Chain A
Amino acid sequence: MNIINIDNNKSININDNVCIKDRNNKYKIDLLKQDKLILIINNIDSEMVINVYDNFNLLLYGNIDNKLNIKINIYNGSKLKLNKITKNNNSQENIEINLDSNNSTIKFNCTYIGSLKSNVLVNHKFDNTTSNIVNHAATNNSDIIININETVENGIKNCKLKQYTKILKIDNSKVLIRPILNTRDYRVEAFHSSIVTNINKDDILYLMSRGLNESESIKLIMDGFIFSNIEDAEDEISKIKEFLDI
């Protein structure tokens, strides 16, 4: 897979399938032909706009200490498979996804580590569009708010919406999940589920009985949970762990 460190690519960067431009402090990334791509988005301050014109497998990761703003437009009935893993430090993420043509599809495995506030916005603007969002967030004593807002615009039919959010925490972190589905049309299939769980004490005990101390046990369980949300990019996990220092 191609790996591009966005921060080092202030200038125009093109290959046949991908075109990245930095204009007025705004990244414009066009995914033109079916391919896979890894973008390292370490503390990029400027907004990113990603236009998807063909089926694509995209992996984004990096540390976010302040803000992350991403807007994704999916055209041509394309299917975007998106994995995003960010390590957050009291940061704010805004991710907007527009399904901009008939049959446009997104499968979004979205993973957060640390404290953050996140807004995920999905707009179904055409018929037969599909969104499937899986959020995993893990916190070890820090706060998390996740808002997911999905809208089917007026008169748009036969859309499929699915969202699943799970937060794993230990005792006293504050977490909040706000899932919202807006639709005025009955020809829609919608599903959502939100789960917040504490790490199971018996699981920790089991690992401790095999020699791991408490923090090692918690880390192993949290990492396992976090990285189980990566799909079709499993080979990259060790690199991501190293980069994010997990």
Chain B
Amino acid sequence: MLEINNLNVSIDKKIILDNFNLKIGEGEIHVIMGPNGVGKSTLARVIMGDDTYKINKGEINYFNENLLKMKVYERSRKGIFVTYQHPKEIEGVANMDFLKTSVTSITNEKLNLFKFANEVNALKDELKIKNNMLYRSINVGFSGGEKKKNEILQMNLLKPKLIILDELDSGLDVDSLKIVCNSINKYLENNKNTSVIIITHYQKMLEEIKPDYVHVLMNGKIVETGDINLANKIFEKGFDSISTNEMKEQK
């Protein structure tokens, strides 16, 4: 469903991703790990379509279409959903009005308000979201955890085919992380073809959502791919164990 070939991305003339390759099939769960500042969020933002990042080389195909030619909202309408590490606060725009507009834009049909309200209510209970969060301004005055829950509420409503979770676990306490991951797992259970990219530093997240592949991103590219055992090795020994391997290869 997603194929990234030889991608080179820079910001302010600094190259962040170089010769980056990644292939994701339908229904697969991939994890991307890497030290702070290596470009994990950059990757998520490039897939989302944030044009502050400059694409110098390479291609991204999404269901055999050229993703890089699509506008941000076209990508979203075609099923790409990227959670924000720090979701935006937008004063004066009621969360519920936003959700309605968003769902309407994506489904491109008139909203069945009754059905929509039921769906939101069920998700509200599932995610243990306070009722007033639906009517307050988007993310304004929400705690870190509430913002992340709001992201997953949106995810459930927008029915994405590719979900990118960028440090969803940061700012979430253990209980909230469980709630949020259960909701994601339930969504994946009902949408078996949906693929996921998880960006995380923490083991807890991968205990909740079981990945098929684990990649390590360093020096602009994926330097090692494995399964959960690779993640466990990193949790235990850190990224040094990886970088020494790579340096050995280079020698």
Contacts and interface: CB of A to CB of B under 8 A. Distances in A.
Interface stretch (B33-41, B76-84, B183-191): B76-84
Among B75, B77, B87, B92, which residue has the most Cβ atoms of chain A within 10 A? B92
- What is the predominant secondary structure among interface residues of chain A facing chain B? helix
Contacts of A211: 73, 76-77, 102-103, 105-106, 158
Interface size class of A (residues with CB under 8 A): 20 to 34
A93 B162 CA distance: 51
Given A205-B50, A221-B90, A210 B102 contact: yes
A220 B72 contact: no
Interface string A76-116: 00000000000000000000000000000000000000000
A206 interface: yes
B233 interface: no
Nearest to B155: A210
Interface string B84-128: 100110111110011001110110000000000000000000000
Nearest to B89: A203
A164 interface: no
Most chain-A Cβ atoms within 10 A of its Cβ — which of B50, B84, B93, B158?
A: B93
Nearest to A213: B73
Given A216-B101, A220-B97, A209 B90 contact: no
A208 interface: yes
Contact of A212 (B81, B88, B101, B137): B101
B94 A224 contact: yes
Contact of A228 (B84, B92, B106): B92
Interface string A208-246: 111111101000110111111000000000000000000
A139 to B, nearest CB: 16
A206 B90 contact: yes
A221 B137 CA distance: 11
B91 A213 contact: no
Contact of A206 (B84, B91, B158): B84
Contact of A209 (B76, B97, B137): B76
B48 interface: yes
Contact of A221 (B76, B93, B94): B93
B88 A227 contact: no
A202 interface: yes
Given A206-B84, A211-B73, A224 B90 contact: yes
A224 B137 contact: yes
B121 to A, nearest CB: 20
Contacts of A208: 49, 71-73, 76
Given A207-B98, A220-B97, A220-B98, A212 B90 contact: no
3 closest A-B pairs by beta carbon, nearest first, are A224-B92, A224-B93, A228-B92
17 contacts: A206-B88, A209-B49, A209-B76, A210-B106, A210-B154, A211-B77, A212-B101, A212-B105, A213-B73, A214-B73, A216-B101, A220-B93, A220-B98, A223-B92, A223-B93, A225-B91, A226-B92
